[in-house]
Amino acid sequence: MNTPTECIRQRLTWDPRGPAPYESMWSILLKVAALNSLSAAELHGLLSPVQSARTRRNVRLSSIDLTEVRPAAHFLGITESRLKAGSLEALGFDSGARTAYAPRHCPECFRLGYHCSLFDLPFVAVCPWHSTYLCHGCSICARALGSRSSNQLQNSARWVCRTCGVYFDFHQHRRVNRIDSGTEFAIQALGDGLTAWWTGFCTCFPDSYSLAAPLLREQQETSSLHNSWRLGLIEALVPHPARWTFTDRPLLTHAVAPIRGFHLAKASAKVISLGAVDDSAFKAMRRALFRRFVARHRKCLAELTRLGIFERSALDSQRVCSVSVAWMSWLMAHDYGGLKREQGAEFKLASDLQDIRVGGHAPDGPGTGLQLAYANFFRVWGTIEALIPDRAIRVCIVKPLDRNCDLPHRTIHRSGADSVELLVPDRNALEEPASERCIQRFRARLPMYQAGAAYANSGWNATPDICMPFTIRQHGNGIRNTYWYLEV
């Protein structure tokens, strides 16, 4: 007597012309269930003979295990490679983390009943063959298979998402694959290019993979800056294929030596003190930074230090000298107590180097602290340069306990102390736009700030916040600024 699973396998129906190139496993499994009137439980049993491996609650089925590709390809009468192209894990885009699945659709592809597996990469922004921006992940589509079963739509040969629309209707269109041959060719070529780009990076630079792996996970908005640097790391090593547009603009990092290693001790609830810092070593590092990056912006630095607190709260993103702002912010974090008077540039020298951490680690000695402080300058400068085109920035002076060199990093656990490697922004890529902005400002003979905005900020009852010494934003009619708080 045949088991239920064997009966299902005997009546399995599929169009051998499908799936389309790089069609996602979510789309394939949903169509298989619709064509064969399968419930979620029956499809679970078809894909895995071990029922405990796939519970009834796991009804999203965004992918299948590599061990299940061969039997699934046999049941559908297609080659294994066509199924593997629908799984990000099989293509090598495995982040190692399992998060809630929500397919991202191209509206044009959706009308043709097609969903590309590469659209589920969080850093992909545009469908390259339709030049259309992808929609946000749809949680309703993610539960499509379970919804068909629970809502007694098991025998329905169509799927309609109340958010996205009609995905397929086999009563009207019997073809599983409704993509034309020209678009199929473009999908195949562009998909091969993107997978080869990622595979080439992982193969040629395996040591840097852990720094780029977070790109494959769903990120919060605050992680977009890190993703820009991660994409810049890959871009410097392996340029990405044409026509693929990313959600974050790649920002170059050091191409030859993209990471720097420090030995850091695990941080407890209390920041580990750096102890007595060699003043001569810190001053030597400070002089080196000034001569290399700030000296050519002396005029900008002098102008910035002469500004009052309300002028500094109205800096124009198209005129500001990012080098001077980064230098002053860095000094406040590591050397000086801050700007003490509204007019003039009087500072109070701190007694020693302030504590700083990276992630959940703190320096295990003064030498490592100096290296971390050096990298922190590029973190501040790189953040300003990265956000100026699209965001407004408020520099915030935080307490030493909260001070963090927030750069992409990875931790190598070792006995005694951990090794932490940082991804540092490329200094040459930062210098070019900063110098261009300063040249244009000097030619136009304009200040760094908007006088009207500074006057508006200095109302009769205005109370300046000394913990936010600089505010950089766009000025103009109808502009609404979204602020990024840069902690130093």
Extract the tokens encoding 102: 């929500």
Place of tokens 């902005």: 437
Q: Are 216 and 234 in contact (CB under 8 A)?
A: no
Q: Compute the distance between CA of residue 407 and CA of residue 381 in angstroms, rounded to an integer.
A: 12
Q: How far, in Å, are 79, 100, 325, 390, 477 from residue 386 at the CA level? A: 45, 30, 14, 8, 23
Which of 34, 33, 28, 35 lies closest to 44 in space, CA to CA? Answer: 33
Q: Are 125 and 133 in contact (CB under 8 A)?
A: yes
Place of tokens 């590709």: 69
pLDDT in tens, the chain (488 residues): 445 445 444 446 777 677 889 999 888 888 888 887 777 777 777 766 544 344 444 444 555 666 667 777 777 777 788 888 888 888 888 766 556 788 999 999 998 889 999 999 989 999 999 999 999 888 888 888 776 655 555 557 778 888 888 888 877 777 778 888 899 999 999 999 999 999 999 898 887 888 888 888 766 555 678 888 888 888 888 888 989 999 888 887 754 333 344 444 444 333 334 444 567 888 888 899 999 999 999 999 999 999 999 999 999 999 999 999 999 999 888 765 444 444 444 434 343 444 677 777 777 767 777 888 888 899 999 999 999 988 899 999 887 777 788 888 777 766 656 677 788 888 888 999 999 999 999 999 999 999 999 998 887 777 778 889 999 999 888 788 889 999 88
Which of 140, 121, 250 lies closest to 190 in space, CA to CA? Answer: 121
Element (H, E) at 264: strand 259-266
CB atoms within 10 A of CB 353: 23
1 exposure class (CB count in 10 Å sphere: 0-12, 13-18, 19+): exposed
Residues in the chain: 488
Q: Compute the distance between CA of residue 374 and CA of residue 361 in angstroms, rounded to an integer.
A: 16
CB atoms within 10 A of CB 196: 14
Cross-strand bridge partners of residue 132: 127
Q: Compute the distance between CA of residue 116 and CA of residue 20 in angstroms, rounded to an integer.
A: 9
